[in-house]
A and B are shown apart, each in its own frame.
Chain A
Amino acid sequence: MNFGSLDLNTTWFILIGVLFTGYAMLDGFDLGVGALHLFTTTDEDRRVMLNAIGPVWDGNEVWLVTGGGALFAAFPNVYATVFSGFYLAFVLLLVALIFRAVAIEFRGKQPMRWWRQMWDLGFSAGSVLSSLLIGVAMGNIAWGIPLDARGEFAGSFWSLLGPYPLLLGVTTVALFAMHGAIYLLLKTDGALHAKLRGWINHCIIFFIICYATTTMATLLYVPHMAARVRANPWLFSIALANMLAIANIPREIHQGRDWRAFLSSCVAMIALMGLFGLEMYPNLVLSNPEILNSLDIHNAASSPKTLAVMLTMALIGVPVVLAYTVSIYWIFRGKVKLDKMSY
């Protein structure tokens, strides 16, 4: 397909952003449910929580896999630099995601207490570690990582664990936990639902503290991540929308409109990712301190031909994917009821 004068590189920058935002909004609640999992004590509650995400977590994880594939295809230099540079961090992330996945699958297959507790731990630890590492990776991208003239990562594993990336990691855990708690409100009823209503305040407070700290730290120590909004004050509307969306969450929960709380949480994530993308653009990986070595949408991109082919595939594939994703969420709507096929 011919896309005329469309800026393919920018389009793919946005599309990759959309894929990772989709991942955060969808698998975010799965990982959040994992973070909350160990706070419940009865087997029945834990089963309800697992079955709340049971039919959908697998599809949600595909957003990450497809995001990775799209990054490989559209910006191979970024894919190569980030994954080889963050080697051990990504191996840990993969192991954490594996544990999360198989724990969901295997926990319910045997009734023994030790068996279920082992997988409960695997599920929760896998989820928390995944959220943390995703946040740490985002933090490093925002802070900037040392790249050499070839665009190769010039730091070490330990250099990735700076205070700012770790702060973003904790914030991500908090964000996902809050998101997961709201999702669970939608999927549960009875005593567990009432218990979750109590927890959600803690989640919101934990997130808002992290969010405020991250915002302050960003403004003080990572000024380049606020430069574009500073230069274009109208973009502050996105930051404002973000804050209003977050403030709306406790309001909707208080009034019992859990659906709207969930949507607010999604809007907050979209706004956060939007701000992140706006500040990064046109860079995909910021080189710090040698800013000239940064990987951007031009020096890291595939050929226009490939970007056009991929855009055609996305235009065919994405509407279909969205259509059946929505239908599947619709089929599995409503509160969780345990039956013999449940986890």
Chain B
Amino acid sequence: MDVLSLSRFQFALTAGIHYLYPPLSIGLGVMLVLIEGLWLKTGKPVYHQMARFWTKVFALTFAIGVATGIVMEFEFGTNWATYSRYVGDVFGSALAAEGIFAFFLESGFLAVLLFGWDRVGQKMHFFSTCMVCLGAHFSAIWIVVANSWMQTPAGYHIVGEGLKARAEITSFGEMVFNPSSMDRLFHTLCGAWQAGAFLVVSVSAWYLLKNKHQDFARASLRLGLALGLAASLLQLVSGHRSAVGVAKNQPAKLAAFEGLYQTTTNAPLRLFGWVDEKHETVKGGVAIPGLLSFLAHSDFSAPVSGLREAAPEPQDRPPVNFSFQLFHLMVTVGFAMILIAGLGFLYFWRGSLFEKRWLLWLLVLSVLGPQIANQAGWFAAEVGRQPWMVQGLLRTSEGLSAVVRANTVLAAIILFSVVYLLLFAVFVYLLNDKIQHGPDGADLVPAGKLALPTREGA
């Protein structure tokens, strides 16, 4: 394989595996804020027990998120040096902002969150939990801003020519609020909240099936379902807004997502199908006439650009079927999550959820949904932008490091694969161990400084 394919594979591998963890940290962060907030408000011991247990799970996901994330910070330089020179002025500042505003906040207050139970009071602990959660969100903000700039560059100009050409910031505000950043951020965050919420839902449903830790599981399940359903419904809004943005700013990407070659009025929305790239058609599947036009342009008869118009040259097109399948996988799973969360919520509300074992089993499996959708969505977003690394400015093949050879990248891939597989195995092993162990009964009685009555309570 050549350096380009290997470097792309390496990035996909490291970013894909890394991205299993940060959404869990972000989503669990919100869950922890809710749980501790409820504990502060109601003083019910079960919330303290929940806070303790889910903090441990949070710590696990956070640790691997940090460990795998440090690779990402340097991978632009190692494998994509030409890209780094080209975009450093713009992209680098977003990455540096992530360090200053997000990572320090997260890692600093994480110490209090994990080890401060007996050292600080309730309110300080709650404040630290909020800061960790905020830090996790800041980190999403800056990295999605940076990535969105690659999708829809704005607030820059090109200086120099040929090999010396590079993008320089003209307006920091326009760079941060580029046309796709806020919609994509909203979409990413909803996906992360789903990931955290459904992890809680899954574990709690499993306890209910096994008749273990009933009070803990019910309270956790209720909160998890509430956040999971809210995030899944919001995902409809954010997903729609993102798609409208893609239709406007990256028509070739939208055409690939839908396998649309010919610019069409009253364009159909395909529910599934198989794109025959050679004959430029979609085989099989089901399509709803006019819906794509409506969703993209709020008008059933509006024309939607096909690939022949948006990217007439085949070398300017992304891999169409691959983008199509991943995009549709994401959408399908997204709707399934709404259905699952809705059913769970409905029966929970009616009080009959705990007898419906099939639904509880479905909830146990629901943890996989957001992970699959998050991965598929990011792969669709990144592959759909190809052959561009920075849309319209820099091709992926032009961004490589000039001095790095294929066998070097291969060596790195092998090394990272071994380490990441080991990490993943350890993660699953320890997560399973924590779940089997379950919440600690002793945590129903708060100890240390936390046991002291708050000023208001006294």
A residues near B (Cβ < 8 Å) are 54-56, 58-59, 61-62, 64-66, 68-70, 72-77, 79-85, 87-88, 90-91, 94-95, 97-99, 101-102, 105-106, 109-110, 150, 152-154, 157, 302-303, 305-306, 309-310, 313-314, 317-318, 321, 324-325, 328, 331-332, 339, 341-342
Contacts and interface: CB of A to CB of B under 8 A. Distances in A.
A58 B113 CA distance: 13
Contacts, number: 226
B241 to A, nearest CB: 28
Contacts of A94: 70-71, 74
Task: Say what secondary structure dominates the interface of chain B.
Answer: helix
A69 B110 contact: no
Interface stretch (B95-103, B204-212, B330-338): B95-103
Contacts of B43: none
A83 B82 CA distance: 11
A275 B242 CA distance: 51
Contacts of A339: 118
Contacts of B66: 58, 61, 101
A331 B79 contact: no
Contacts of B85: 76-77, 80
8 contacts: A62-B104, A64-B70, A73-B96, A83-B76, A98-B67, A109-B433, A302-B93, A331-B111
Contacts of B428: none
B361 interface: no
A68 B97 CA distance: 11
Nearest to A54: B115
Nearest to A99: B419
Name the residue among B85, B96, B110, B119 with the largest chain A CB count within 10 angstroms: B96
Given A102-B423, A309-B93, A65 B77 contact: no
B48 to A, nearest CB: 14
Most buried by A among B88, B97, B112: B88
Contacts of A153: 403
A76 B60 CA distance: 33
A341 B426 contact: no
Given A83-B81, A110-B433, A303 B96 contact: no
B78 A65 contact: no
Given A91-B78, A303-B168, A98 B71 contact: yes
Interface in B70-92: 70-71, 73-74, 76-79, 81-82, 84-85, 87-92
Contact of A80 (B77, B93, B120, B159): B77
Contacts of A95: 415-416, 419
B163 interface: yes
Given A59-B111, A328-B108, A332-B119, 19 more contacts: A54-B111, A58-B110, A72-B77, A72-B91, A72-B95, A73-B88, A79-B92, A83-B77, A84-B78, A94-B71, A102-B423, A302-B92, A303-B159, A305-B172, A306-B93, A309-B93, A309-B169, A309-B172, A331-B120
